[in-house]
Chain A
């Protein structure tokens, strides 16, 4: 135990730097994942057939082990000289985030009370106005819940991405194992857990703030 604290005392700057890296990876991948997943989820509510295909594809992606996904991406991205590093990690996290984000958005919009949708239509809102003023605000809690799931999922998978050189807290675990340094592994694992809990908590706050007061 003293040993571990000692390790922390000497390496806190390094651990902090890896945490920042990890958050950068998450920040970039989640932003892009939301920008793709939310509009796609909304669009799918207008196309029943495409919806089941896309949701199925997203579920399949989620079942691919991350190591295998990285393995597949290395030769593909090598053609542009990016086989390992930040880019493949970001792409993997975007892919893994799609299912929770698309599915929750799709469900959120589809689950808006048909009477409310009917009223919105009947008083003369355009499709876009209905979406902005009624459907998205009322679906907000569910959409944000999807983003939260994606975030926590990404924090874990982001650690594995260290194997392909993405940086981040996974590096501590990776190096700790290969060097037989238990303190390093432990520091990485704890930092990842704290990050996951903090992110979930922070996003919950954001969810409450962004969700309209009346629902």
Chain B
């Protein structure tokens, strides 16, 4: 858990980078700090592991005020990943990944075992990479190693500053998915910086939207998209916010809102699965040759028909 209480930060030159931020990130929650360049995302993140001083207010990690903790010790208990991965060029991949366990004095056997586990987790065979050096890896692989290094000592809290920012879109999207799988298993408390709203929507349990060091909205992605609290937020989420948010809803959400009758006999349109995204359903329906689709109910029944009007009704519901 990370708690910010009335945190402000003024840099020596006089720039007020963070302005009275209060925010609680619950245990196991994945929170994305989102906002335009220079809004203070990195600053807010780096205050957590005391790479930046706090000017006013306080931050607590796992219930302890960071001010009372030893900087070095607390940093070893927090995973830290940065955009340019920051791998140490002079160390092998194993040494890089195991750098924190090494600082913590783990035994050789325990380190080797942990290395194998982490490499499997990130989908890179440990034997192939143990003795390699960072420059021998592709950008995507280096970024995975950066994630593995942050996970090495099994920290409950992870700080990630645009970790996938430097990757090309395809690799990036694959690593995002891999990382979501890892997070499902490990349930870390994650504070993640991004300036890409699509990335934030995809990964976040909750999004903090910042502007000039102030929180504009702290909400679940769907709420942020469909119920922006001010003009800045609605402009930031963009005109296609409804479409984006349909990615976040599934067929079963539609069924929960609308009462769809079961169909007798065989359906005359495509049947969607309860976990398919509504955006898929809508995209399918927009084709002029299709009027109806059907959806599979929880108990195996086929319900419908569903038309574009149903989706519109659903959108009215979620944006109300």
Q: Can you name 5 A-B residue pairings with CB atoms under 8 Å?
A: A115-B86, A118-B82, A123-B80, A124-B74, A124-B76
Q: A118-B51, A119-B82, A214-B134 are in contact. Are A124 and B89 (CB under 8 A)?
A: no
B181 to chain A, nearest CB (A): 24
In the bound assembly, the distance between CA atoms of A158 and B104 in angstroms comes to 49
Residues from chain B with Cβ under 8 Å of A213 in the complex: 133
Contact across chains for B135 and A214 when beta carbons are under 8 A apart: yes
Q: Pick the contact of B51 from A121, A125, A137, A215 — CB < 8 Å?
A: A121
Measured between beta carbons, the chain A residues less than 8 angstroms from B58 are: none
**CB pair B75 A124 closer than 8 Å:** yes
Contact A137–B76 (Cβ < 8 Å): no
In the docked arrangement, what's the CA distance between A129 and B133, Å? 20
Across the interface, B72 reaches (CB within 8 A) one of A116, A126, A134, A138, namely A126
A123 to B134 alpha-carbon distance, docked (Å)? 18
Query: Which residues of A are at the interface with B, using a C-beta cutoff of 8 A?
Result: 113, 115-116, 118-126, 129, 133-134, 137-138, 212-215
B100: CB under 8 A from chain A? Answer: yes
Interface size class of B (residues with CB under 8 A): 20 to 34
Nearest A residue to B146, CB-CB = A119
On whether A123 and B89 interact (CB within 8 A), knowing A115-B84, A213-B133, the answer reads: no
Bound CA–CA A123/B160 (angstroms): 12
Where the two chains meet, the residues of B that have a C-beta atom closer than 8 Å to any C-beta of A are 46, 49, 51, 72-76, 80, 82, 84-92, 99-100, 103, 133-135, 149-150, 159
Cβ–Cβ < 8 Å partners of A120 in chain B: 86, 88
With A125-B103, A212-B90 known, 14 other A-B pairs at CB within 8 A are A113-B84, A115-B86, A116-B87, A118-B82, A122-B82, A122-B159, A123-B99, A124-B72, A124-B100, A126-B72, A138-B88, A212-B91, A214-B90, A214-B91
B149 closest partner in A (C-beta): A123
Bound together, the chains give a CA A215 to CA B89 distance in angstroms of: 6
Alpha-carbon distance A135/B177, docked complex (angstroms): 34
- Given A115-B82, A119-B80: A134 touches B88 (CB 8 Å cut-off): yes
A119 CA / B79 CA spacing, docked (Å): 11
Query: What are the 7 closest A-B residue pairs judged by CB atoms, nearest first?
Result: A119-B86, A214-B133, A212-B90, A124-B75, A124-B76, A137-B90, A122-B80
Q: Among B100, B133, B135, point to the contact of A123 (Cβ < 8 A).
A: B100
Q: Are A124 and B90 in contact (CB under 8 A)?
A: no
> What's the least CB distance linking B199 to chain A, in Å?
21
Do A124 and B82 touch (CB < 8 A)?
no
Could you tell me the distance between the alpha carbons of A126 and B99 in the complex, rounded to whole angstroms? 13
Smallest CB–CB gap between A42 and chain B, Å? 16
Once the chains are docked, how many angstroms separate the CA of A153 from the CA of B84?
A: 40
Q: How far is the CA of A122 from the CA of B146 in the complex (A)?
A: 13
Contacts of B87 in A (CB 8 A): 116, 119
Closest residue of chain B to A139 (Cβ to Cβ) is: B90
Of the listed residues B46, B73, B74, B91, the one surrounded by the most CB atoms of chain A closer than 10 A to its CB is B91
B145 → A minimal CB distance (Å): 12
Task: State A122–B88 Cα separation when bound (angstroms).
Answer: 13
